[in-house]
Structure 1
Amino acid sequence: MANQGNAIVQETPRFDLESYIQNYTGPTRFDRLMLIGRSSVALHLDALRAAFAEAKKSHDTGRYREVATYFNMVAPSEAEELFSKSWLESTDAANAAETKRLEREMKVYKNNLVKESIRMGNEELGRHLESIGDLGGAAEAYSRMRPDVSTPKHIVDLGKHLVSVFLQRKEWVSVIGQLNKITGIQGSDDEKLMQPYIRSMSGVALLGQENYEAAARNFLEVDGSSTSIATVTDGLLSANDIAVYGGLLALATMDRAQLQTSVLENSKFRAFLELEPHIRRAIAQFVNGRYAGCLSILASYRADYMLDLYLHRHVNNIYTKIRNKCITNYLVPFSCVTLESMDAAFSEPGQSIEVELAGMIQKGLVNARIDSINKLVRTVKEKPRVRLHKDALEAVSRFEKSTLDRLRRVNIAEAELDVKNPRKGHNAPDSGDNWFEISTPVAE
């Protein structure tokens, strides 16, 4: 698996595979099993067997071939017994026949010019193409529904179909665009029902874009009091996922005061934290200044997060951000700290934090100096009076630049050196978008 370029997780995860995968339905169930099968040393065989069974339940022969290829690497004899060439050929033939049938029906609907029939035909064709793994064709079929939708429910259904396809294709910008369209048409009652879906899917898309702060805000605002998260998200996410994503991203992007008010005292998010108490403990340890305890809790669950479908690519980055925050906050109350005490708090036995700390200082994350001879870390405290003077000088500089720009623009207009829009003739333009000034200095 390592030769195929997969990230390998040597540690045994804490979750039970069978119980874990029951939280998901649809394509994400197979994708999660495949990720575990490709990455986990302890669970790869069980996950690949489950993925093999899951692929055979569907009509997607591409997934079936994919899992067969990986299974053949780790257990050739068992893969040969499980692989069914006859099922593969019959399913391909049935998929092709069903596609042709639906396309013929669509031609009839278009000839009849019945908008509702055309919409339903495109929806049925899109569902079929999505089920057989033709995501590009499914997206096109769903998009053709747009001229024929007539009610808010139809717009919501269309948006959810496209979000499902774009999530599988990891097209995060398109996911955000479709969610914005859904949000714009909701009424007060529907908006409350759709809020968990919109917030959670937005969080996943923003996480994929590495916009961790915005993603954290969305996950923290998910309201799961009215219905099941798995039901709302069509089996894509579980309530445990919301707790983990929201908690980790909040730890990586928020300060201690924000964590206290936006996470620990958040009535909406408290229900999710109860499902993952270790996340709540890690946040509480950080808020209380017990950074070593916070990092220890997170390290014990790292293997679980490395096997998560949407989180695994970001675990290293998120953990690095949290660790840097812990080190930075640890140094805040002190003017001088021994490297020995920092090693005890943040390093493994026999290792030193000196090299890591030097890298943070070079990147500007920590304002400190390392005394390698005396093994001390001396923080550089900026005096409030000096900072105030700097801020005042920067404000004056910005004001002076803005004033000069305004005077230059007035002088250009008075000297009639501004270039008019040819379409407007010599009359003054209505908006600033239709003209521009020559930046030649004018004597006052």
Structure 2
Amino acid sequence: MAGNAHLDAYFSQARSDGVLVVKDLPKFDLDTYISGYTGRTQVDRLIHISTHSPPLAIEGLKLAIKLLKQTQDVPRFRLALDILRKISPEDAESAQDDAWIEKTSRKVASDTERIEIDLKSYKHNLIKESIRIGHEDLGNHLYASGDLVGAFKCYSRMRDFCTAPKHIVDMSMQAIKVCIEQGNYMTVQSHVVKIRNLTRGPDEEDLLRPKLCVAMGLTQLAAGDFRAAARSFLDCPPTLHNTYNEVITANDVATYGGLCALASMERTQLKTEVLDNVEFRNFLELEPRMRKAISFFHTAKYSNCLSILEESKNDFLLDIHLHRHANRLFELIRSKGIVQYFIPFSCVTLSSMAQAFATDEQTLEKELVVMIGKGALDARIDTKNRLLTAKETNLRSAVHHETLAVAQNYERLARMKLMRMNMIRAGLEVRGSKAPTSQVNTGIVHGQNSWPINLNAQRAERNWREFM
């Protein structure tokens, strides 16, 4: 009971601080889910889940601590222990392992000193390749030790000692990985563009293209540009497989790409660019629920689509990249479904519409009011008869406005043509000189023959104003 009290107190404080808390369990099994990733992102995702999901908090932290003991990341280990002590102070695993911390800290300091000494000797010998490798070794060591800022600085210093395009690619890929974990997506984008501008062989292109598509997609997702993010994930070749599990899995590509496509693409585009996309189909096969949701939306079965997405919403809210955008994506998908549903009708009852979207009339009415207020839905709500009616356009008025616009444009063009004819008749046309360009320019520079042109221009401007 004490453990539950501490858990409740921790997440109560988190809610008051504005942290998203997911009460219900997700559909995935934590061990199976986290085994799909490798490297630092495993721990990052476990800590994220533990600080947002009360049912998985203790299990996730224990698993994170177990993984961290296999690394040299002392700061992350202390963070996980600190959270576990707040949530479950009586747990045996929440006790601080001072022996491991001291031993690992000494090893990190010793390795850092050794690598820095080697780097100094490389700089003394002025061998570019050795200096580049020295910076890379130090960056890898700092990254493994949890110092992302220091690791990024080391990778950035490699740039001055790169002697081949492959070196620049290696440096940029390391920087991209660090920046994604830091959330520094502007730098991720610049490095992706840098790599794409380099000349690469076919084999290297096949290896890099999936990773670059994923990195750019995460950048666009973080910026809230869901349409561009969908394009990037849809363009990702199926050769990604498990080659980038330290950042993302193939299942994530299907989930991110599917949600962004649902939120930003029309029904016809979902068919041609998502469901019929041969390359992306390989990813959708890993996430059959997402494929079903997209198919239902394309066939106008909106309630089925939204029901599937709602069942997986907790999974999305606990995803380290999706949690900030899940609610917005759901809002866009639902709004787009309502608009698409209403297009064939001039009038529809709120009851039938609520049934189609698996909700009650009051909730639907509030949602429609918000959409109409934002201009997303061009309709009116008849609260007396409980109807949603399309705004009637006055065709006669529309034709009058269009005709008036055409007449005004015709009058403007006619005035301009008449003005040109009058200028030619009055001899006010500015003719080009037959003299060589160099002579004309020389004369203008010295103030020769410039006054007739200026005078003619002034006359033309004055006549134009009088005529108009």
Q: TM-score range by the shorter chain?
A: 0.7 to 0.9
SS of residue paired to 1:185: coil
1:296 aligns with 2:310: no
Judged with a 3 Å threshold, the aligned counterparts in structure 2 of structure 1 residues 260 and 106 are, in CA distance, closer, same or farther, namely: same
Equivalent residue letter for 1:65: R
Aligned to 1:210: 224
2:49 to 36, 39, 45: 36
Residue 395 of structure 1: how far off its partner (Å): 12
1:230 aligns with 2:237: no
1:3 aligns with 2:13: yes
Aligned to 2:105: 92
SS of residue paired to 1:309: coil
Q: Is 1:183–1:191's contact at 8 Å kept on the other side of the alignment?
A: no
Residues 165-314 of structure 1 mapped to structure 2, 5 A cutoff: 165-189=178-202, 190-224=204-238, 227-231=239-243, 233-314=244-325
Indicate the larger mover: 380-389 or 73-82: 380-389
SS of residue paired to 2:55: coil
Residues 145-156 of structure 1 mapped to structure 2, 5 A cutoff: 145-156=158-169
1:121 to 119, 134, 140: 134
Q: Is 1:196–1:229's contact at 8 Å kept on the other side of the alignment?
A: no
Cα distance between partner residues in 2 of 1:140 and 1:391: 64
Cα distance between partner residues in 1 of 2:392 and 2:165: 57
Equivalent residue letter for 2:82: T
Q: Is 2:372–2:378's contact at 8 Å kept on the other side of the alignment?
A: yes
Cα distance between partner residues in 2 of 1:23 and 1:392: 64
Residue 163 of structure 1: how far off its partner (Å): 0.2
Q: Is 1:62–1:133's contact at 8 Å kept on the other side of the alignment?
A: yes
Where structure 2 has 5 or more consecutive residues not aligned to the other structure, the ranges are: 1-10, 420-429, 431-443, 446-459
Cα distance between partner residues in 1 of 2:288 and 2:402: 45
Aligned to 1:417: none
Cα distance between partner residues in 1 of 2:254 and 2:181: 22
Q: Is 1:59–1:91's contact at 8 Å kept on the other side of the alignment?
A: yes
Judged with a 3 Å threshold, the aligned counterparts in structure 2 of structure 1 residues 85 and 323 are, in CA distance, closer, same or farther, namely: same
Residue 352 of structure 1: how far off its partner (Å): 3.2
Q: Is 2:350–2:361's contact at 8 Å kept on the other side of the alignment?
A: no
Cα distance between partner residues in 1 of 2:406 and 2:310: 43
Residue 160 of structure 1: how far off its partner (Å): 0.7
Equivalent residue letter for 1:372: T
1:83 aligns with 2:96: yes
SS of residue paired to 2:388: strand
Q: Is 1:216–1:249's contact at 8 Å kept on the other side of the alignment?
A: yes
Residue 234 of structure 1: how far off its partner (Å): 4.6
Cα distance between partner residues in 2 of 1:122 and 1:400: 67
- Spell out, residue by residue over 1:71-126, the C-alpha distance to the aligned partner (whole angstroms, 9 max, x if none): 11221121565420221122223222222222222111111100011000000011
Cα distance between partner residues in 1 of 2:312 and 2:46: 18
Aligned to 1:23: 36
Indicate the larger mover: 238-247 or 190-199: 190-199
Residue 192 of structure 1: how far off its partner (Å): 2.3
Where structure 1 has 5 or more consecutive residues not aligned to the other structure, the ranges are: 408-413, 415-425, 428-440
Equivalent residue letter for 2:150: G
**What's the Cα RMSD here?**
2.7
Equivalent residue letter for 2:139: G
Judged with a 3 Å threshold, the aligned counterparts in structure 2 of structure 1 residues 366 and 116 are, in CA distance, closer, same or farther, namely: same
Residue 148 of structure 1: how far off its partner (Å): 1.1
Judged with a 3 Å threshold, the aligned counterparts in structure 2 of structure 1 residues 356 and 110 are, in CA distance, closer, same or farther, namely: same
SS of residue paired to 1:43: helix
Q: Is 1:68–1:79's contact at 8 Å kept on the other side of the alignment?
A: no
Cα distance between partner residues in 2 of 1:146 and 1:392: 62
SS of residue paired to 2:224: coil
Judged with a 3 Å threshold, the aligned counterparts in structure 2 of structure 1 residues 141 and 442 are, in CA distance, closer, same or farther, namely: farther
Judged with a 3 Å threshold, the aligned counterparts in structure 2 of structure 1 residues 137 and 391 are, in CA distance, closer, same or farther, namely: farther
Equivalent residue letter for 2:302: Y
- Spell out, residue by residue over 1:125-179, the C-alpha distance to the aligned partner (whole angstroms, 9 max, x if none): 1111111121111111111111111222211110111001111110111101101
Aligned to 1:334: 345
- Spell out, residue by residue over 1:251-270, the C-alpha distance to the aligned partner (whole angstroms, 9 max, x if none): 00000111100000000001
Cα distance between partner residues in 1 of 2:207 and 2:402: 50
- Spell out, residue by residue over 1:4-30, the C-alpha distance to the aligned partner (whole angstroms, 9 max, x if none): 343111121111111111110111110
Indicate the larger mover: 38-47 or 290-299: 38-47
Q: Is 1:23–1:235's contact at 8 Å kept on the other side of the alignment?
A: no
Aligned to 1:134: 147
TM-score normalised according to structure 1 size: 0.86
Indicate the larger mover: 22-31 or 34-43: 34-43
Provide the aligned length of Structure 1 versus Structure 2: 408
1:66 aligns with 2:66: no
Q: Which has the larger radius of gyration?
A: 2
